[in-house]
DNA sequence: TGAATAGTGTCTGTGAGACAATATTAT
DNA sequence: ATAATATTGTCTCACAGACACTATTCA
């Protein structure tokens, strides 16, 4: 059939010509947790943590998964992601970045669902809202060798472990492909999402200022360094760290005292 | 309704509960073009180029767009992208990387279509297959200031221009948001895809080896440097470039002669 | 011969890695 | 006093920017 104009074409267009599918947004919410210490001298230990939600419905009933949900027909994915953050985790106004779109036809046993993952970064201490009931923060520990990525998640009650295989792909010169090797407690392909999110954050922390989205307004350089070390998974040398960071922060009048050691100046994020 | 098992749940699942939508893959195919020179001394000028397809149907009839197409209900997006590369541009076995998923509800006037963009890199000279009829390579020139991004595409017959506004977003500390300011000849939101692809390549060329996907097997360092300069949009100093690149290439026995100047050793990509 | 490109040498400044040294607090 | 953390000084080495210089080809 021949149309004479765009308007005429659109008027006659039948959108059922192609098979349709559903789209979800899954959100990796990362933050930093503080552990209390019993030694008056020592600093509280920090943890890198992710928010998971316990599923109370099939499929994957009783397993943990990332906060997520279906995209409405009239909203874009980012808007949906923000709605989900609010609904599932009672969180709003935070850093949000699109990561990757997962499209394995078998990734959801119900039907064809494609999922776009987002990474959100927050400072837990700034949250004045409560989490919803079935949401919980899990501390992340991980280690990797050349071929695999081992992750342990711990919320104080449950410990979830999974293992991901990293393989270099043929055509591409640099990208890894991730495959789940072991996983009992996490729903869907979310272990892949978690690992690729960690990798992304690890890269971005080095060349952007995203880390400050996880920091309180005032912080000491020791605290900031701890966060870098957690995410990068390695110790940094104090003078080197201070050299790198000094262009990104400004010293304030505030001083943190109370530990059994020299008090620390508090700093604040300085843009540009 | 309560189900006793995952199997039972899946058997009774009705997938029409949510509104469905369509998904497409749009592919940015980048390559390097060589321009002949009439001065026997001078090297042929190179161009950074992208493959576009002229639309012969509504919507956006007669405008240019990226090769793209709908995802089948049983294929993942990357598989679809490879199928599209074959069908629309007669290209296979090339570097392919997912970029971003665009989901503005109004991005397609026909209906709700979400699009995942991919970037493909090839060496045009290695293509022994012909392009399909309505596909054409456009040389890219662009310049940017702090706020906007100006792109000109030229295939020797038509010149397409567009302009994109870059704005820093509120919540995010580093990401830009792109908005189309001027555009007459390119369909959909593809100007945005093109610009974000250029930005991505510009970043990746500095910390990965992707550039070699656009190079022939044997090349001179002068040629390689030209490609870097095209993509980065600035001149590089010879000694500095050679220092950086020397770990990535190996010298071969081949020598390129014929120009009215000193002949050049030919190099080859060396992994790791 | 000279225009054009190929390729190398070297100086300088910046910045990261490494280690040492000093400062300050609460118990 | 001492353990723990905060903060700074400095030496070295690697490397990027800059510029100069040499080498080689073909019309």
Residues, chain A: 272
Nearest to A230 by CA among A243, A217, A214: A214
Q: From CA B220, how far away is CA B241, in angstroms rounded? A: 13
Q: Which two tokens stand for residue B266?
A: 């030919």
User: Which helix or strand (DSSP H or E) is residue B209 part of?
Assistant: none
Set out the domains of chain B in order of their start, with CATH numbers. Answer: 22-207 (3.90.79.10), 216-269 (1.10.10.10)
Judged against a pLDDT cut of 80, whether residue A175 lies above it is answered with no
pLDDT digits 0-9 by tens, B102-116: 999 999 998 999 999
pLDDT tens for each residue of B207-261: 999 999 999 999 999 999 999 999 999 999 999 999 999 999 999 999 999 999 9
How many other C-beta atoms can be found within 10 angstroms of the C-beta atom of residue B212? 22
**Mean pLDDT, chain B, integer:** 92
pLDDT level of residue B62 (50, 70, 90 thresholds): very high
Concatenating the DSSP letter of every residue in B69-90 gives EEPPTTS-HHHHHHHHHHHHH-
Helix (H) or strand (E) holding B12: none
- A61 has a chain B CB within 8 A of its CB: yes
What pairs with residue B168 in β-bridges?
A: B176
Check residue B210 and report its DSSP letter.
G
Q: Under 8 Å CB-to-CB from B104, ≥6 apart: which residues? A: A76, B189
pLDDT at A174 over 70: no
Instruction: Tell me the pLDDT band of B5, cut-offs 50, 70 and 90.
Output: confident
CA of A161 to C1' of D1 (A): 46
What is the C-alpha separation between A124 and B160, in angstroms, rounded? 48
Q: Is the CB of B159 under 7 A from strand C?
A: no
Q: What is the pLDDT of residue A18?
A: 63
- pLDDT, position A88: 83
Q: What is the mean pLDDT of residues A160-189?
A: 87
pLDDT value of position B87: 87
Residue to test with chain A: of B1, B57, B114, most A Cβ within 10 A: B114
The predicted pLDDT at position B172 comes to 62
pLDDT confidence bin for B1, thresholds 50/70/90: low
A-facing residues of B in 79-138 (CB < 8 A) are 93-98, 100-101, 103-105, 109-112, 114, 116
Provide the pLDDT confidence category of residue B13 given band limits of 50, 70 and 90: confident
- Mean pLDDT score, A131-158: 92
Helix H or strand E segment including B208: none
DSSP B117-150: EEEEE--GGG--SPPPTTEEEEEEEEEE-SSEEE
Reply yes or no on whether the pLDDT at A9 is more than 80: no
B77 with A101: Cβ contact below 8 A: yes
Q: Mean pLDDT of all residues in chain A? A: 92
Give dist(CA A122, CA A133) in Å, integer. 19
**Higher-confidence position of B56 and A133:** B56
Q: Is B55 on the interface with A (CB under 8 A)?
A: no
DSSP per residue, chain A: ---SSHHHHHHH--GGGS--BEEEEEEEEEEEEE---SSSSSPPPEEEEEEEEE--SSSSTT-EE-SEEEPPTTS-HHHHHHHHHHHHH---S-EEEEEEEE--TTSSSSS-EEEEEEEEE--GGG--SPPPTTEEEEEEEEEE-SSEEEEEEE-SS-EEEEEEEEEE-SS-SS-EEEEEEEESSB-TTHHHHHHHHHHHHHHHHHHSSGGGGGS-SSEEHHHHHHHHHHHHTS---HHHHHHHHTTTEEEEEEEE--SSS--EEEEEE---
What's the whole-model pTM score?
0.93
Cis preceding linkage at A238, omega within 30:
no
Size of chain B in residues: 272
Q: Is the pLDDT of residue B128 over 80?
A: no
User: Strand pairing of B113-121 and B22-34?
Assistant: parallel
Rounded to whole angstroms, the Cα distance separating A194 from A67 reads: 12
Whether A244 sits with its Cβ under 7 A from any strand C atom: the answer reads: yes
Reported as a single tens digit per residue, the pLDDT across B170-187 is: 666 556 789 999 999 999
Hey, which residues does A163 pair with through a beta bridge? A150, A182
Nucleotide nearest to A265 (CA to C1'): D6
Residues above pLDDT 90, as percent of chain A? 76
What are the tens digits of pLDDT across the range B68-124?
Answer: 999 999 999 999 999 999 888 788 889 999 999 999 999 999 899 999 999 999 998
CA-angle at A249, arms to A244 and A254, nearest 5°: 130
Residue A197 has pLDDT above 80, yes or no: yes
Token readout for A44 is 């509280």
Summarised one tens digit per residue, pLDDT across range B14-58 is: 766 567 899 999 999 999 999 989 999 999 999 999 999 999 988
Percent of chain B with pLDDT over 70: 94
Query: Looking at residue A15, what is its pLDDT?
Result: 62
Q: CA end-to-end span of chain B, whole Å?
A: 57
Pick the residue from chain A with its C-alpha nearest to B101. A101
Q: What is the per-residue pLDDT for B12?
A: 75
Listed residue (A70, A72, A98, A96) closest to A82, CA to CA:
A96
Where residue A232 falls among pLDDT bands split at 50, 70, 90?
A: very high
Residues 6+ apart with CB under 8 A from A216: A123, A125, A126
- Give residue for tokens 């009783």: A62
pLDDT at A173: 56
Six token digits for residue B147: 């706020």
Kindly state the DSSP code that residue B21 receives in the 8-state scheme: B
């Amino acid at each position: 059939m021949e149309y004479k104009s765009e308007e005429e074409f659109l008027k006659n267009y039948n959108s059922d010509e192609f098979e349709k599918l559903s789209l979800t947004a899954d959100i990796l919410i990362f933050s930093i947790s503080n552990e209390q210490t019993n030694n008056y001298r020592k600093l509280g230990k920090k943890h890198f943590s992710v928010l998971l939600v316990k599923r109370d419905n099939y499929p994957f009933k009783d397993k943990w998964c990332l906060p997520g949900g279906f995209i409405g027909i009239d909203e874009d994915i980012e808007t949906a992601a923000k709605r989900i953050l609010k609904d599932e985790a009672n969180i709003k106004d935070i850093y949000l970045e699109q990561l990757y779109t997962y499209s394995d036809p078998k990734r959801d046993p119900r039907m064809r669902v494609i999922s776009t993952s987002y990474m959100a970064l927050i400072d837990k201490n700034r949250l004045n809202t409560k989490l919803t009931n079935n949401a919980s923060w899990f501390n992340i520990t991980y280690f990797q060798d050349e071929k695999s990525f081992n992750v342990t998640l711990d919320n104080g009650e449950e410990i979830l472990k999974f293992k991901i295989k990293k393989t270099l792909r043929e055509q591409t010169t640099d990208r890894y492909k991730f495959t789940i090797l072991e996983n009992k407690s996490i729903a869907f392909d979310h272990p892949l999402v978690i690992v690729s999110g960690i990798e992304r954050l690890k890269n971005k922390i080095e060349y952007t200022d995203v880390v400050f989205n996880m920091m309180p307004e005032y912080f000491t350089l020791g605290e900031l360094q701890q966060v870098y070390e957690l995410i990068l998974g390695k110790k940094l040398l104090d003078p080197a760290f201070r050299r790198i960071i000094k262009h990104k922060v400004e010293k304030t009048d505030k001083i943190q005292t109370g530990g059994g050691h020299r008090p620390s100046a508090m700093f604040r994020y300085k843009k540009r």
